[in-house]
Amino acid sequence: MARVDIFKRIKDDVFIENRIQLYRLHYNYLKTCLKHPKEFSVNKSHYTNWKLDKVKSLTFDRWWSSIGNNLFGRKLKSIKRIRTSSVSQKDNAVVLQIPSDNPVEYSIEKIRDILQSIQPEEKDQRNHYVKLEIYLETWKLKRSNLKLRDIRMELVKRRRKLIEKRKGRSLAMAEWQTDKFLKFDPKKQLGKSYAEQQAYKSLERQISRYRLNADKILNNVCKGQFPGLYSSS
């Protein structure tokens, strides 16, 4: 995990276990459920400390600064110098012998190697987060009276914005993938040929699949699960 990413998730010795984008997505899905009570019944027992009235009214950033950061943050344990030759190893602690005459930078690098070797590696989920965001955006757009090709254009715009934020960080979010995303040229006049009709039907199926994925995730969120099990392709 990049050092910059870690320090972005630490403030006043409080550490956020997951990338903040995961909490933002969960929040946005939950907020959508709360906005549509006729369609979704949220089990509030799973969100007792979320202050759901605030979720309804606040942006994620405001909610996070006043509620979320304290709710999901973990206070980090302090690092101590132990002045004894007899050390009993405690849970979640590693005893190291560090020569005091080594260059500081060298020792820090070796300590980092040791700690990374015993901690589970965190997978980069940013590509997955993009998909989750696109699913929810599709769900919202499908509720409008937009034509299919207009929905496609809005989704491509949204994906491009997400890629610009994360440019260069992941091959799977490269520009060429966005060009192939939701394969259908909205500027092209829809003809009556078999190939053109099939392309349109393929687009329709893909958008319907995204909406269905969002629907399943929204129902999972009602049960306190995020994203939970859903069919993704």
The chain-wide mean pLDDT, for the chain, equals 80
Q: What is the pLDDT of residue 166?
A: 62
Same domain? For 174 and 66 the reply is no
Same domain? For 23 and 111 the reply is yes
Q: What is the pLDDT of residue 4?
A: 47
Q: 226 and 23 in contact (C-beta within 8 Å)?
A: no
Is residue 87 assigned to a domain?
Answer: no
pLDDT digits (tens, 9 = 90+) for 128-139: 888 899 999 999
Same domain? For 75 and 179 the reply is no
Is residue 115 assigned to a domain?
Answer: yes
Q: What is the pLDDT of residue 171?
A: 44
Q: 233 and 206 in contact (C-beta within 8 Å)?
A: no
Same domain? For 137 and 115 the reply is no
Same domain? For 138 and 155 the reply is yes
Domain extent, residue 7, equals 1-79+94-122
Q: What angle do CA 204, 208, 213 make, to 5 degrees?
A: 150
pLDDT digits (tens, 9 = 90+) for 164-223: 776 545 544 455 455 556 665 555 555 567 666 777 788 888 889 999 999 999 999 999
Percentage of the chain modeled with pLDDT above 90? 36
